[in-house]
Structure 1
Amino acid sequence: MPATAWRWPGRRSSRSCCWASVSSMFNAVDVIRTKRDGAVLSDGQIDWVIDAYTRGDVADEQMSALAMAVFLNGMTAAETARWTAAMVNSGERLDLHVDRPTVDKHSTGGVGDKITLPLAPLVAACGAAVPQLSGRGLGHTGGTLDKLESIPGWRAQLSTDEIQRQLSSVGAVVCAATTGLAPADRKLYALRDVTGTVESIPLIASSIMSKKIAEGASSLVLDVKAGSGAFMKSTSDARALAEALVSIGKEHGLGIAALITDMSVPLGAAVGNAVEVAESVAVLQGGGPADVVSLTVSLAREMLSLAGLSDVDPAEVLASGAAYETWCRMIAAQGGDPDAPLPKPKHVHVVSAPSSGVLTSLDAYAVGVAAWRLGAGRTRKEDPVQHAAGILCHAKPGDRVSAGDPVLELHTDTPELVEPALAVLTDAFEIGAAAPERKILLDTVR
């Protein structure tokens, strides 16, 4: 038996006479009506509809109707947990066998959110194993894989054996998830995006947790963002999502905690792809912006606590250089050259301060959209990204600037993209007498 095994829990063949008799008990219209009328779906209804939709026996228009019914009427905690389990059971599940405790991290996405890059090698250098299966950017939020692909030679696609070997030898792997993990979620996620049902907390929570449970780590820390650059704009909405995520994790036996963090201002000074890699390396080498360092260490402490390694101080490990050494090994293990020069933009445009004073605000959403328009992000999943595209924030709220000082530096390989990026930055920052104090860690849910 190999060290890593792929299991197909709960999959049932449509040709099975037993499954045929069970499937005859349910139909899509009755399931839709149940939720449309505000009733609670049974475990059998949930299991059937997720399985049937994955196999193509429930049509997209029927699942669209059900998703809208869930959006309008919600789901109980028990329904959401069962929905998540059904999506996990729709595909493969990674069974990890390493000599270290396994702990994962997931962020709900933001602007300049490169935290996975320094965090994974830091936690690995502290003694845990970090299987970080990540995704690509879409719209104004960047993707971890897009950032790492700025590094010459680095590859995102790994086999299960490669994941296992790298976790055992390096302690950290950041790579793409296989198509076999939670295929029901992949279908439903695409459907929600075009049916106006993305904002449903039960559907968001089950989408996130189905993939994380299928990845096989024994514990998980969530970074739930709140603010203009986040999916959840208010702290109260972010807390509701965090509580739903933690509840599902506990139902499935995960050690789990959620940090609610501010995303009203971009994280760090770099927003984009190569620029975020460079900033992450600076953090691993003992420098970098204070907010990136602070959040990285806070998340690392929470991860180490869940992994039973709370006696290790991640701040000391970061300062020692051990996390940077782990980074170099992690990048090299995936074919990348950690010493290779990163891509540079062909065109740079500077946005200067129109007056003197203190930068009082810098809107994360506007900066994220501008970076996207410069080529750092994509509109469709199949679109390419420019690795050199992005924005450097030369000033952050609280910094004093003089008229003519650079505030934002726009990077792109396509000069004609500067004008549409500037259009969204018109009111992106303000200059006044003083800036309000910013708190990055807003709350914790356990």
Structure 2
Amino acid sequence: MNAQRAAGLIRCKRDGGELDASQLRAVAQGIGSGAWSEAQVAAFAMAVAWRGMSIPECRQFTLALRDSGQCLRWDDLPGPTLDKHSTGGVGDGVSLLLAPLLAACGGYVPMISGRGLGHTGGTLDKLESLAGYEVHPSSARLRQVVREVGCAIVGQGDELVPADGRLYAVRDVTATVDVADLMVASILSKKLAGGAQALVLDIKTGNGAQLPALADARELAGRMLAVAEGSGLDLRVVYSDMGQMLGREAGNALELRAVLDLLCGRGDNPRLLALTLELAAALLCAGGLAADHGDATRQLRRARDSGEAAERFARMVAALGGPADLLQRPDAHLARAPIQREVGAPDSGYVAAVDVRALGQAVVELGGGRSRPGQALDHAVGLAEVLGCGSAVQVGQPLAIIHARHADAAEAAQRKVARAFRITSEPAPSRPLWQWHMPAEQFA
């Protein structure tokens, strides 16, 4: 595609025009093939941010992104293909927990995931904490791992939705992460290309979310459901709270270690585990693998308590090139930062509020996230043992522990993290961790 035509398509959208299916296919082809420069991709993303897309336009762009690469089919599997996607959070390891839990209960999970966006962590970045783990396997290898293990958490690579892969990276650094139409097209194009039959979309709300207001989250859900209509995808939407970190760790290796602890029956991450079980139970019901929500929850707890889910995760890691002894020797494979610094509470009382976006940004500034496309990450850095809202604290008690590579970075993070907590003399009212877009009974 020549530069003049690319500029014309960008100008049309910038000026409020509606692109037709053939024009949107040209946009996706230009982005995916590399014919469009990074500046043109960024300009198109900003034009969409400014002017938006109609539902038909967003649907056609979603399909154009999907068709920029291969589309997987799983007709030969003996069970349902299930998947989950989050709009992005801090301390959110749900995908890493959910995939092996579902696999241990008879589901198949070909999960096409992404990297961190802005202040939020990315599932692929967490998995790359493990040396050798191949986040972009060939389609043949992906099929083999899903068939033999039951789950594979990978990126889209060059074969699956390459146009979205490039657009995703540009959105990360151009203030277009939270553009609803781009979120819809990005999420659904990956999930449609991955071949999932049922999908739970976890839309985060609260100060640490890409869309903090519940009203904006509901609008996104409506657009998502409208665009997905007729696609054959059973889409269900849940809103979950990101007014505090979901888990107690933020940072790639730290979060992965927390997930391993939960899979092996250790650790103290009640919010992370509770949300994972809720979403996984809904998917087991959607896939016909459970009679109702209670039956699904019992199956999932057995899968965890028996060690079957942990074993599935370990097999997935080994099958995709990671260490074969991860469960036996996690410390040998997960990097640890050389400096740990406590952030002490300035007063006694209760944690009334947490600026989660600031915590996520602190991880980025430590080197655990990106400020430009392709930036290398330090997988060891981040935050650990972060307190949540309602926690009682004594003066000087750690609100969080900084894991840093250098002393000056640790000191800067200490200041930022300290400002992110508000301590009061009385506990603030608690917020529900999740609510379904429709009554939960409809998912059973």
Measured against the shorter chain, the TM-score band is: 0.7 to 0.9
1:74 maps to what in 2? 52
Deviations for 1:203-224, whole angstroms, at most 9, x for unmatched residues? 2211221122112222221111
Matched, 1:430 2:408: no
2:437 maps to what in 1? 444
Deviations for 1:347-377, whole angstroms, at most 9, x for unmatched residues? 1100111211111122211111112222222
Measure, in 2, the Cα distance between the counterparts of 1:308 and 1:184. 33
Q: Secondary structure at the match of 1:94?
A: coil
Q: Secondary structure at the match of 2:72?
A: strand
Larger radius of gyration: 1
Q: Secondary structure at the match of 2:396?
A: coil
1:330 maps to what in 2? 316
Q: Secondary structure at the match of 2:204?
A: strand
Deviation for aligned residue 1:131: 0.8
Q: Secondary structure at the match of 2:309?
A: helix
- Between 184-193 and 429-438, report the one with greater CA deviation: 184-193
2:205 maps to what in 1? 226
Q: Secondary structure at the match of 2:84?
A: strand
Are the equivalent residues in 1 in contact too, given 2:108–2:151 (CA < 8 A)? yes
% identical equivalent positions: 39
Measure, in 1, the Cα distance between the counterparts of 2:112 and 2:99. 11
Q: Secondary structure at the match of 1:271?
A: coil
Matched, 1:175 2:154: yes
Measure, in 1, the Cα distance between the counterparts of 2:263 and 2:145. 20
2:353 maps to what in 1? 361
Residue number among 74, 87, 91 corresponding to 1:108 in the alignment: 87
Which segments of 5 or more consecutive residues in structure 1 lack a partner in the other structure? 1-13, 15-22
Are the equivalent residues in 2 in contact too, given 1:219–1:307 (CA < 8 A)? yes
Amino acid at match of 1:438: R
1:389 maps to what in 2? 381
Q: Secondary structure at the match of 2:401?
A: strand
1:184 maps to what in 2? 163
TM-score (norm 1): 0.86
Deviation for aligned residue 1:243: 2.0
Matched, 1:294 2:280: no
Matched, 1:213 2:192: yes
1:123 maps to what in 2? 102
- Between 407-416 and 316-325, report the one with greater CA deviation: 316-325
Q: How many residues align?
A: 423
Amino acid at match of 1:95: R
Q: Secondary structure at the match of 1:360?
A: strand
Specify whether residues 34 and 99 from structure 1 end up closer, same or farther in structure 2 by C-alpha distance, changes over 3 A only.
same
1:200 maps to what in 2? 179
Measure, in 1, the Cα distance between the counterparts of 2:218 and 2:72. 29
Deviations for 1:146-186, whole angstroms, at most 9, x for unmatched residues? 22233354333322222112111110111232213223323
Amino acid at match of 2:96: L
Amino acid at match of 2:409: L
Residue number among 228, 238, 260 corresponding to 2:217 in the alignment: 238
TM-score (norm 2): 0.86
- Between 239-248 and 33-42, report the one with greater CA deviation: 33-42
Specify whether residues 303 and 272 from structure 1 end up closer, same or farther in structure 2 by C-alpha distance, changes over 3 A only.
same
2:399 maps to what in 1? 407
Which segments of 5 or more consecutive residues in structure 2 lack a partner in the other structure? none
Task: Compute the RMSD of aligned alpha carbons.
Answer: 2.7
Amino acid at match of 1:304: L
Measure, in 2, the Cα distance between the counterparts of 1:344 and 1:114. 18
Deviation for aligned residue 1:380: 2.6
Measure, in 1, the Cα distance between the counterparts of 2:6 and 2:108. 42
